[in-house]
A and B are shown apart, each in its own frame.
Chain A
Amino acid sequence: MTALAHVPTSAGEPAAAPRRSRSRLLPYLLLLPGAAWLLIFFALPLLQLAAASLYDPGGSLSTGYAMTWAFDNYPAALQAYWPHFVRSFAYSAIALVLALLMGYPLAYAIAQKAGRWKNLLLVAVVAPQFTSFLVRTLAWKTILSDNGALVGLLRDVHLLGPDGRLLATPFAVVLGLTYNFLPFLVLPLYASLERLDSRLLEAASDLYASPLRAFQKVTLPLSMPGLIAGTLLFFIPATGDYINAELLGTPNEYMIGNVIDSAFLVRLDYPQGAALSFLLMAAILAIVFGYLRKAGTEEVL
């Protein structure tokens, strides 16, 4: 085969051209199923949603919606629900900080110190994902319930007042967010800390860096790709989440996801739901791009 390839035959020349063009097409052919899927199930619905956000807000499912290019839907929706936006970002930001405080040491310990327990610990991180998101959140509802052991204990040691409670508080919602999205932060962090060469830390230590300095100057910068990926994977779904506020909170803790949920499924106000969805998307995109520019790692995305 290889020998033949070097022999310039008159028959070989014309045959080579179509083969080359076919191989040029091949990547696009391979792209086709995925692209078609994205087009049908992402791009088209997105367009439909964008259109819906501009429908006449006076319409309803029974009377039908008229396309009136009602750009006023956006300021109106923001006007009505800006506290929910603020709450969403505040909750998920607090949850992110908590998750970082727990997740970074966890990922570091699994990657660098766990030795033969590494795989078991990784399974422990991932295993809860085998049950449904809903079931896990409902479990927290039981744990935090007013008659539960935890609340009883906290009341006994006077960390909670006699009628103090955990469930149906912002605390419970933030805790739920932290818990549910923690693996999305830990796994990318683990992947980049696992590649960290411990000899670099020895070198840093040899070059007068205290353990804290070595962490700051070597470990942290080298784990930056995982840290950025992890925080994004945590922050984006946490901000749009509505299950935790629904199950662990009250309407006072409702986040923007709950509002969108009710706009589509309860109030059947499609234009408003669509407008809120786009506002959320825009806000998250703005934060993500601002964050990536600040972090200065274009190779992450």
Chain B
Amino acid sequence: MRTMGHETPAGDLRLANLTKRFGVFTAVDDLSLTVPQGSFFALLGASGCGKTTTLRMIAGLEEPTSGQVLLGDRDIAGLRPYKRPVNTVFQSYALFPHLDIHENVAFGLRRRGIRKVTDQVERMLALVQLEGYGRRKPAQLSGGQQQRVALARALINHPQVLLLDEPLGALDLKLRRQMQIELKRIQTEVGITFVHVTHDQEEAMTMADTVAVMNAGRIEQLGAPADLYEYPATAFVANFLGQSNLLAGEAAGRTGDDLPVTAHGARFSVPADRARVDHGPVFLGVRPEKLHLAADPGEVPAGHQHVGGVVTDASYVGVSTQYLVRTAWGSELSVFAANSGVGGRLAVGTPVTAHWDPRHAFVLPREPGEDDQTAPLLDEPPVGVPS
């Protein structure tokens, strides 16, 4: 990792028992986590889950009700925002409209009494590919360009931690994908710790080394994107991060290396190391792309488990076809079949067998009384809604 900071030897960012209440509403509930120095960390959650409040507490724009914000060994929770070695890229960019791009980027340097800023500003504008834009006003730039100015304005200060509050939320899809790659490139280049808040699971997974999924002020699960996706810890994570077919079932202890699960009158088996619980009410989960469809039960490969059903919907989305399969007990399973040219398309009404490799299934805890969850959660709230 390259060290660019002129600040004191940096360290990990640690949140310890951080809590924020607004009146009776608890926005952030006893949150503890560690962000290793130099990593790209994403806080992922729906609107109102407390992720932006967490970010604002790290920035100092919100005062924690209790708990600590530690940078290395230093508790910065009591410091005013302008005393913290932390900078933010705001969702609204918050560029100063009366200053040109050069002065916007130089703002932080000037406030710290640095006179000769031109070279640094030029270098920073080059990093975000905005050479020659220095004399323009923010209003003369497009959304994507403004976003990059906001990034340059924060990065030029070499903060120990860079906070990004849904910085790509206002951009259109194509530009967003482009900026994701760009952000990741810059983060690798400068080696600063990035904490990125987003409600877009794809954005989090594309960029972050570590993703924390937040729900109702708490962290549901924290880990590498692939780990979170392949083996979610809760039903919320399973449905927020991508889509899952969760079948309500019962488990009664493992037999050998397997955990038998009874669901809707059928018995299934899951490897014991893919089960979060092994007793009581459980969800048996399989990702839609891990489900395969066979027109006749005889085609199911050995070792695969299966349920029968009828195709009720088929949406062709280019790279794949998304099927809905209604089971005998009425739940509709999602199945994504890659359009790789192997196998034909199945018409609505076709009786099929959905099968999966047990090593791709997982078992999650379930509240008693909860039924199957096979519909995706709404993962894209309207743009502009603060979270």
A199 and B92 contact, CB distance less than 8 A: yes
Interface size on A, residues (CB 8 A): 17
Nearest residue, chain B, Cβ from A222? B98
Task: Scan B64-103; emit 1 where CB is below 8 A from any A CB, else 0.
Answer: 0000000000000000111000111010101111100000
Interface of A is mostly: helix
Distance in Å from the Cβ of A254 to the closest Cβ of chain B?
43
Interface membership of B212, Cβ < 8 A? no
Nearest residue, chain A, Cβ from B84? A206
A205 and B96 contact, CB distance less than 8 A: no
Interface membership of A122, Cβ < 8 A? no
Interface membership of B275, Cβ < 8 A? no
For A209, the chain B residues whose CB sits under 8 A away are 82, 107, 111
Report the separation of the CA atoms of residues A222 and B98 in the bound assembly, to the nearest whole angstrom.
7
Distance in Å from the Cβ of B222 to the closest Cβ of chain A?
26
A207 and B107 contact, CB distance less than 8 A: yes
Report the separation of the CA atoms of residues A213 and B80 in the bound assembly, to the nearest whole angstrom.
14
Interface membership of A130, Cβ < 8 A? no
Interface size on B, residues (CB 8 A): 23
Contact of B61 among A206, A210, A217, A221 (CB under 8 A): A206
A199 and B157 contact, CB distance less than 8 A: no
Nearest residue, chain A, Cβ from B107? A207
Report the separation of the CA atoms of residues A56 and B343 in the bound assembly, to the nearest whole angstrom.
110
Interface membership of B291, Cβ < 8 A? no
For A222, the chain B residues whose CB sits under 8 A away are 97-98
For A210, the chain B residues whose CB sits under 8 A away are 80, 82
Report the separation of the CA atoms of residues A223 and B97 in the bound assembly, to the nearest whole angstrom.
12
A207 and B108 contact, CB distance less than 8 A: yes
Interface membership of A93, Cβ < 8 A? no
Report the separation of the CA atoms of residues A204 and B87 in the bound assembly, to the nearest whole angstrom.
10
For B86, the chain A residues whose CB sits under 8 A away are 206
Interface membership of B112, Cβ < 8 A? yes
B94 and A205 contact, CB distance less than 8 A: no
For B14, the chain A residues whose CB sits under 8 A away are none
Known: A213-B111, A222-B97. A203 touches B88 (CB 8 A): yes
Contact of A208 among B82, B90, B97 (CB under 8 A): B82
B80 and A199 contact, CB distance less than 8 A: no
Interface membership of A218, Cβ < 8 A? yes
Known: A202-B61, A203-B88. A208 touches B157 (CB 8 A): yes
Interface membership of B59, Cβ < 8 A? yes
Task: Scan A186-221; emit 1 where CB is below 8 A from any B CB, else 0.
Answer: 000000000001011011111111100100011001
A203 and B90 contact, CB distance less than 8 A: yes
Show the binding face of B for A, using Cβ within 8 Å: 59-61, 80-82, 86-88, 90, 92, 94-98, 107-108, 111-112, 153-154, 157
A-B contact pairs, 18 of them (CB 8 A): A197-B92, A199-B92, A200-B94, A202-B81, A202-B90, A203-B90, A203-B94, A203-B95, A204-B96, A205-B80, A205-B81, A206-B81, A206-B87, A206-B88, A207-B87, A207-B108, A208-B111, A209-B111
